[in-house]
Structure 1
């Protein structure tokens, strides 16, 4: 049986206010072409189908079209909800769409109940474990231990118990949306540590043939049988060096026989660059970034006037601007923290005024700032 493992579509998400719906639609086109060309039997989507619990209408439409097109290829689909999705909303009418060959698992009650799909070698049991909010899952199952390891460990106990009652030759696949210890994260994954420790050991998934993981946006292998596919698009500048795509996994009679990572289309490359604005605007070495979405960090000692307008003359797709002046480190190598350690509050405010405006404060301004702080201290002392 041939599987395609993808995750973290985040349909409806933007990138620094750039609408990504067309790029997400292009990814779906590529995925459908791959499903046909590679004769994929089952498409696995390991959570974060949408970017938020109430997705925009266009994102819902694209998701519906994607599922219909997957089924038009003759492949089946097994999907789970992630921490960005609404578990309750995605669970609606799952019993009805099961009959169409689309199996969406977004309920605690369904954990441990497999979707059975057969090939010439026999059945494969697909177990969907949606993102488990620790406190909700703990109360639902009556557990005493808290945290992600406890609830995911219980979920896998249910899976292994159900699998143990099946014929010995039954192959098994688990879909899970979780943060496995040792995985490389990026800035665009929402923190899932609320309610207990976020990380779970990969050993919690022992006993199944393949684990299709979702949540981390970089593709990576956690063990011989457990992998993250990563997100199909970059959703933060911290993902600039990640290769985007999905896994093709072949299941033989004894488990995973082969895996291949297939790259997805890149709508526009992203990069982080830094330097003084005059160098960025004139040096030939930066020319290769003119078609990139850019995060630019300016290191000029004084903040330039209208920096983004000037940068976009050469880099029309610059999206984010930071400032890290080179003079934040003094000549003796001390850090900014050491530099300000012995300065009083009025001096720090005046330093900021000097930096932001690009010229020294006047005597009247210095008197005004110091007078304001003296007034504040007098008020505090009178309370």
Structure 2
């Protein structure tokens, strides 16, 4: 069978005030075109369909249309909730998803069977996929108890709970003539961050070893980390990465989807298909004169300007580079000026302390000092 694995769409993303919705329309249209060209039997969307738990109507419309379009290619579609998604809201879409032929799982349900989806390819290849949405630490404990596994003590780790839960869900991975698949939204130890993930849900407290997945799993389709990568483990484990770089920490990633070909008796063969229509993210450095020579027509920019800090510097940069979404004084320039001095605070006025701070940061603009003095006078009236 052939599988198209994608994840971390983050529809509704706003980057430094810039909506990415138009880009997401183009990116998901290309993902659908790839599905039409590749003709997969199954499409797996491994979480973070949205960037926020309260998506706009436009974002919801785009995601539901994309899932429907993927289903209309003839592929079965399985999608799960991620840590950015509102799992309960995704579950509320289940009636629509069921009618559209999409297996959508937003939260962990009361019976393990809710997370098992069976199918068969046009050529008669049987497959089973376990669909496990993102679980926070407290809900991992509840899920373990709900399935009546070994009693979960509060001191046990997230990885312990996930291992028990995954083992329970995959306990029927025994049929020799069936392809066994798993999709989840989590961090696996040893994987590399993509650069734009939510830190609170990628730290080691939320990481699980690759050994939690059974050895007889033919392919594990993961979401959560935005860099496409294979993870060493007892079976083929892979992150597809995001099809659109969602933050400047991801500018070196290559957006793509993953195509997997596997049978019940052969090892999964994996290849990446690039997604090329998203606007690139770039970081540039330079003085105003150097920045004036940069062409920003093909990318969103993060600018590290090598100029002395002063009022209006951001506006000067954005006049030169209208697609500059983030403007900062170059950290290398500040580092060269040496560490800030520790000011003596006792007995000194706010004006003196603020003046010392500006001096320590290399900021010599008297207009900024005057503005601070005006604001202070307003507060002190």
Asked whether the two chains share a fold, i.e. TM above 0.5, the reply is yes
SS in 2 for 1:89: helix
For residue 238 of structure 2, give the secondary structure of its aligned residue in structure 1: strand
What CA RMSD, in Å, does the superposition of the two structures yield over aligned residues?
2.8
Query: Number of paired residues?
Result: 352
Under a length normalisation based on structure 2, what TM-score does the superposition of the two structures give?
A: 0.83
- Partner in structure 2 of residue 240 of structure 1: 251
Judged with a 3 Å threshold, the aligned counterparts in structure 2 of structure 1 residues 213 and 257 are, in CA distance, closer, same or farther, namely: closer
Q: Does 1:199 align with 2:196?
A: no
Distance 1:353 1:323 in 2: 13
1:19 counterpart residue number: 19
Q: Which residue of 2 aligns with 1:379?
A: none
- Pick aligned residue for 2:271 from 260, 269, 273: 260
State the Cα deviation string for residues 212-251 of structure 1 (Å, max 9, x = none): 0001111111136111111111111011100001100011
Contact 1:146-1:196 at 8 Å conserved across structures: no
Give the drift of 1:187: 4.3
Once the two structures are superposed, residues 69-108 of structure 1 have per-residue CA deviations (whole angstroms, 9 ceiling, x without a partner) of 1222111100111111112221236367446431112232
| Equivalent residues of 1:340, 1:348 under 8 A apart | no
CA contact (8 A) 1:129 1:155 kept: no
Distance 1:231 1:180, change over 3 A: same
1:250 corresponding residue in structure 2: 261
Deviations 1:96-128 (A, max 9, x none): 744643111223235464211113353111100
Deviation, 1:276, is: 2.7
Question: Which segments of 5 or more consecutive residues in structure 2 lack a partner in the other structure?
Answer: 146-151, 377-381
1:169 and 2:180 correspond = no
State which of 274, 286, 308 in structure 1 corresponds to 2:285. 274
Deviations 1:1-42, CA, capped at 9 Å, x for gaps = 110000011111122221111111111211111111111111
Structure 1 residue 272 displacement after superposition: 1.1
Change (3 A) 1:257 1:324: closer
Aligned partner of 2:141 in structure 1 is 138
Correspondence 1:73-84 to 2 at 5 A: 73-84=73-84
| Partner secondary structure for residue 5 of structure 1 | strand
Corresponding residue of 2:302: 295
- CA, structure 1 residues 296+254, in 2 after alignment: closer, same or farther (shift >3 Å)? same
Using the alignment, how far apart are the partners of 2:185 and 2:72 within structure 1? 27
Residues 1:123 and 2:126 aligned together = yes
How has the CA–CA distance of structure 1 residues 139 and 272 changed in structure 2, closer, same or farther, with 3 Å as cutoff?
same
Contact 1:176 1:214 in 2 (8 A): yes
Q: Is the 8 A contact 1:210 1:255 kept in 2?
A: no
Are the structure 2 counterparts of residues 258 and 231 from structure 1 closer, same or farther at C-alpha, using a change threshold of 3 Å? same
1:352 to 357, 370, 381: 357
The yes-or-no answer on 1:29 pairing with 2:29 is yes
Query: 1:19, 1:353 → 2: CA distance?
Result: 33
